[in-house]
Amino acid sequence: MTRLVKRLNDQSRLRALRTLTRAVLLVVAASLVVPVANFDSSPGDNIATADGLSFAWGLTFAWADPAMTESAAVAMYENQEAVEVMDDLAGKVDDGDGIVVAVIDTGVDFSHPLLDGRIVAGWDFVDGDNDPTDERDGLDGDNDGLVDEAYGHGTFVSSIVAAVAPDAQIMVVRVLEADGIADADRVAEAMAWAVDHGADIVNLSLGSEARSSVLRRLSRDGLLDEALFVAAAGNTAADTKSYPAAADDVISVTATDDHRKHRAWFAAYGDWVDVAVPGEDLIGAMAGGLLISWDGTSGATALVSGFAARELSTDPSLDPKDLRRFVVRSLAAPGLTGSHDRHD
């Protein structure tokens, strides 16, 4: 099995193809991590999950292939098997036109060609401004020995939404620092902001094992019924609930192989998990004009958000509760997800 990173830049066509080994590290946040190969001699190009109240769920492998042309790299992204699986599940529906998907994450590389024309105005809750750029800070903010390990996470997640729903608009909301951490108050504030500013679907490829009082308040106040919230179950390889995914008003997403027959080796599981879609070997954008291969429930969550955007654009009369029921019933997998009862 191989993983590939392609720089989408005519001036820099690197080639390096490498066989993946399953060497993993278990970090404090109980998420599985593999450091990324250093593909451009710059520091901080390894991405991992980070400890904190909320953290990015991602498992990354990256290397480059200079012999591949830019057009071939883009075709690999657009025609990857996971996207084709979601296309088959969606059937003959629209491509997300008129739907806004908020990606609450590390921000985005606005200059990336795969996201050109797909971004709408967002907000940066880390810096407190209207420029939610996915960027490094050069700090080891969580004292885990890794610097900027979540850099690029939001760019990748946004591109996976776009791969499934190419006509949807991505609202970029930055809450995670470059180490992939944020406190629960910041995440909750971002969720409310996204809904107030027109998000139809809110993608949360992040989580924490602690259910905060802030999340309970959002649910009690009815915010979670004003849009469709989709969240990653996590990469714990255990029946360990992650929030907000395990909240009653949120669709929780775990990862499978491309055929949706087997749970991915890293993916969380349990009767609290609602849907199961591919999460291995996903190919998407990486900050800096790269194409990257990523394993994790983060990407699986983005696939589900894209699927939901397509369905909602086809039938705009669906309210968030009806859309939630439809998505859960469409993407549940026998033996891999729980019952539908909590959304009925």
CATH code of the domain containing 190: 3.40.50.200
Give pLDDT, residue 18: 21
pLDDT > 70? residue 67: no
Q: Whole domain around residue 334: which residue ranges?
A: 2-343
pLDDT > 70? residue 302: yes
Which pair of structure tokens corresponds to residue 213? 């009082």
pLDDT > 50? residue 164: yes
Q: What's the number of domains the chain is made of? A: 1
Q: Per-residue pLDDT averaged across 307-332, rounded?
A: 96
How large is the C-alpha radius of gyration of the chain?
A: 18
pTM (predicted TM-score): 0.83
Q: Tell me which amino acid residue 238 is.
A: A
Catalytic residues: 105, 153, 298
In the chain, % of residues over pLDDT 90: 54
User: pLDDT category, 146, cuts 50, 70, 90?
Assistant: confident
